[in-house]
Copies of this chain bind each other. A is one copy, B any other.
């Protein structure tokens, strides 16, 4: 068995597509955003990725049928002027080990390059360790040009945020992407780090809509954000002090699976 198995389900022809990466991580921001995006724009699944670098696990659906842990690729064809073709990478897990992170990222980028990708957007959560009412979207990019472009769209570039850099797929797609001569941006939604954070995902999606000239309804995500708000405020009432927060973005091997 290959270390990474890419099952192409459907042949897809795209024109200069942009790759959007949203895998599980802090506050589940990236996964929430990318899963929402693929539904909202009705993207088509065209490939499934299995790997030894994922846990040896299958999920059982409500009807009793299983599916194996995977990452999945979706495609979207531009529908009007100003839009671009899009590939979206979503999934259950990031690679469990450093080696797995590098291998999986590289394998997706190989495929992306063949499909004409020259630009990547990765999504991530940026944990502040305290509740964030109006999450900013922080950025990191492969060039100053991209930094300037993103600033104009409201993305915040802030010294020492993130201090120790980006760990996991959201950073690695930028770094290895450079070896493929791809230009990339990471969009990090601020989040407390205590809860899954649909509000932060919403903030990230607003930037992405603007970047990709997409328009879609965010009300479902807002509804989820309200639910989480209620849970959070109830918790604040009962506990004056929260338990110590998760570290923002740390460098331990153990955290890799959980960091966007």
Residues of A near any B CB (own CB < 8 A): 1, 5, 7, 50-60, 62-69, 95-96, 98-99, 101-103, 105-107, 139-144, 147, 157, 159, 162, 164-169, 171-172, 174-176, 178-179, 186, 251, 253, 256
Complex Cα distance A176/B56, Å? 10
Q: Is the interface of A mostly helix, strand, loop or mixed?
A: mixed
A54 partner, pick from B54, B98, B179, beta carbons under 8 A:
B98
Q: Which among A56, A69, A256 has the highest number of chain B CB atoms within 10 Å? A: A56
Q: List 19 A-B contacts (CB under 8 A).
A: A52-B103, A53-B99, A55-B98, A55-B167, A55-B251, A55-B253, A56-B95, A56-B102, A56-B167, A57-B166, A58-B166, A58-B171, A59-B165, A63-B144, A64-B157, A65-B140, A65-B144, A65-B147, A67-B175
A16 to chain B: closest CB distance in Å? 23
What 7 pairs across the A-B complex have the smallest Cβ distances?
A68-B175, A56-B101, A64-B157, A58-B171, A1-B106, A64-B147, A59-B165
Contact of B96 with A56 in the complex, beta carbons under 8 Å: no
Contact of B165 with A66 in the complex, beta carbons under 8 Å: yes
Residues of chain B within 8 A of A102, CB atoms compared = 1, 51-52, 56
Contact of A175 with B98 in the complex, beta carbons under 8 Å: no
Complex Cα distance A147/B61, Å? 11
A174-B66 in contact given A102-B1, A102-B52, A103-B1 (Cβ < 8 Å): yes
A256 to chain B: closest CB distance in Å? 7
With both beta carbons as reference points, the residue of chain B lying nearest to A249 in the complex is identified as: B57
Contact of B5 with A179 in the complex, beta carbons under 8 Å: yes
Complex Cα distance A96/B100, Å? 13
Complex Cα distance A102/B172, Å? 23
Complex Cα distance A256/B176, Å? 25
Residues of chain B within 8 A of A7, CB atoms compared = 179
A169 to chain B: closest CB distance in Å? 8
Residues of chain B within 8 A of A68, CB atoms compared = 171-172, 174-176, 178
Contact of A168 with B56 in the complex, beta carbons under 8 Å: yes
Complex Cα distance A11/B102, Å? 27
